Amino acid sequence: MNNCKISFDIGGTNTRFGIVAKECIFWERIVPTRSDLTPADFLAWIDALADETKDADILPASTPIYIAIPGQIQGNTLLRANNLPLQNNMAFPSRMILSNDANSAALAEYLYGAGQGYKTVVMLTFGTGIGSGIIIDGKVISGLNGAAGEVGHMMIDSRADAPKCTCGKRGCWEAIASTTALVARAKSERPNEAWTQNGEAIFAEVRQKNNESAVAIVEQHIKNIAVGISNIINIIAPEVIIIGGGIAEQFDYIHPRLLAHLEKSAYSPNTVPDLFPAFMKNNAGMIGAALAPKP
């Protein structure tokens, strides 16, 4: 079982972990992320979960633990993770091999999912924020101090009263085009409507009832998504952009509308890349983490 690895995808809410070999997950569990722990206890918690996989008698006690984590990573140091109870500049033990979760997802899609056959791939995940992983000529771009790919924080609205972002600044793309931003705008424009509760309900109102105000909100949302994507196209010119997160479920609806915007807003229509929904969905983080090279 040389190909089997212990892999974790640690999110702000849930942690998935299990045994992975290439693009297959053989065994997994999902548990709530223990954000109440001290950093030392958090590491002990990871070790205890990893031990559960070793009980299966498949993996020896010395097996390394591959971890996708939503944070800025350099080598085996977590420089920063906003949604986890960990210290800045925290060194992880060498048995744990860290990757940024968005980069892990992009790598998994590139090798085994919607990015197969392409060399330059951008993966975007729309949810609470906007995550991204960038692969150029087959290589994950990590950048200075592991900070590449924070496309959610490119400023697209410089007005003083632009929507505030979780990073503390205003006018970031994710403050305008994440699913959180879509829901906030729907609630503000239609405060008494039940369909404004989440992104799925907003799209259902559009697709099943053709509600005029919901349609207008979603059309604006797709335009906001297109602004950021056309900036990415103009900088990187990827061959394919993979769309992940809940909005991938609406891909058939957004795809033609997004293309219409991009053909006008990208530098040239011939730089508009292929667009696909993510193939691996929630599995991409775990599969991608296990693809990280050993340091």
Is residue 245 within 8 Å of 203, Cβ to Cβ? no
Q: Which is nearer to Zn ion, 20 or 177 (CB)?
A: 177
> Under the criterion CB under 5 A, does residue 165 sit at the interface with Zn ion?
yes
Is residue 275 within 8 Å of 259, Cβ to Cβ? yes
Show the CA angle centred on residue 25, arms to residues 21 and 31, nearest 5°: 130
Residue 179: CB minimum distance to Zn ion, A: 15
Region from 18-26, 168-176, 221-229, 276-284 binding Zn ion, contact rule CB under 5 A:
168-176
Q: Which of 25, 37, 167, 227 binds Zn ion (CB under 5 A)?
A: 167
Q: How far is CA 161 from CA 152, 165, 183, 271, in A?
A: 18, 12, 19, 33
Residue 169: CB minimum distance to Zn ion, A: 5
Residue 167: CB minimum distance to Zn ion, A: 3
Q: Which is nearer to Zn ion, 10 or 172 (CB)?
A: 172
Cα–Cα distance between 245 and 231 in angstroms, integer?
A: 20
> Under the criterion CB under 5 A, does residue 155 sit at the interface with Zn ion?
no
> Under the criterion CB under 5 A, does residue 237 sit at the interface with Zn ion?
no
Dihedral, CA of residue 270, residue 230, residue 141 and residue 109, to nearest 10 = -80
Helix (H, G, I), strand (E, B) or coil at 169: coil
Q: Which is nearer to Zn ion, 34 or 153 (CB)?
A: 153
Cα–Cα distance between 268 and 176 in angstroms, integer?
A: 24
Region from 72-80, 141-149, 172-180, 221-229 binding Zn ion, contact rule CB under 5 A:
172-180
> Under the criterion CB under 5 A, does residue 170 sit at the interface with Zn ion?
no
Residue 292: CB minimum distance to Zn ion, A: 26
In sequence order, the 6+-apart residues with CB closer than 8 A to the CB of 199 are 179, 182, 183, 246, 247
Q: How far is CA 28 from CA 25, 55, 278, 280, 286, in A?
A: 7, 13, 20, 15, 10
Region from 56-64, 91-99, 166-174, 195-203 binding Zn ion, contact rule CB under 5 A:
166-174
**Which of 20, 83, 14 has its CA nearest to residue 286?**
20
Q: Which is nearer to Zn ion, 169 or 264 (CB)?
A: 169
| Region for 10 from its dihedrals, namely left if φ exceeds 0, alpha if ψ lies in -120 to 50, beta otherwise | beta
Chain positions 211 to 230 lying near Zn ion, rule: CB under 5 A, are: none
In sequence order, the 6+-apart residues with CB closer than 8 A to the CB of 78 are 69, 71, 72, 86, 88, 89, 90, 92, 98
Q: Which is nearer to Zn ion, 102 or 165 (CB)?
A: 165
Q: Which is nearer to Zn ion, 228 or 273 (CB)?
A: 228
> Under the criterion CB under 5 A, does residue 177 sit at the interface with Zn ion?
no
> Under the criterion CB under 5 A, does residue 153 sit at the interface with Zn ion?
yes
Q: How far is CA 157 from CA 20, 132, 163, 170, 269, in A?
A: 42, 20, 8, 8, 24
Q: Which is nearer to Zn ion, 120 or 178 (CB)?
A: 178
Q: Which of 130, 172, 242, 278 binds Zn ion (CB under 5 A)?
A: 172
Q: Which is nearer to Zn ion, 134 or 286 (CB)?
A: 134
Region from 19-27, 28-36, 43-51, 145-153 binding Zn ion, contact rule CB under 5 A:
145-153
Binding site for Zn ion (CB under 5 A): 153, 165, 167, 172
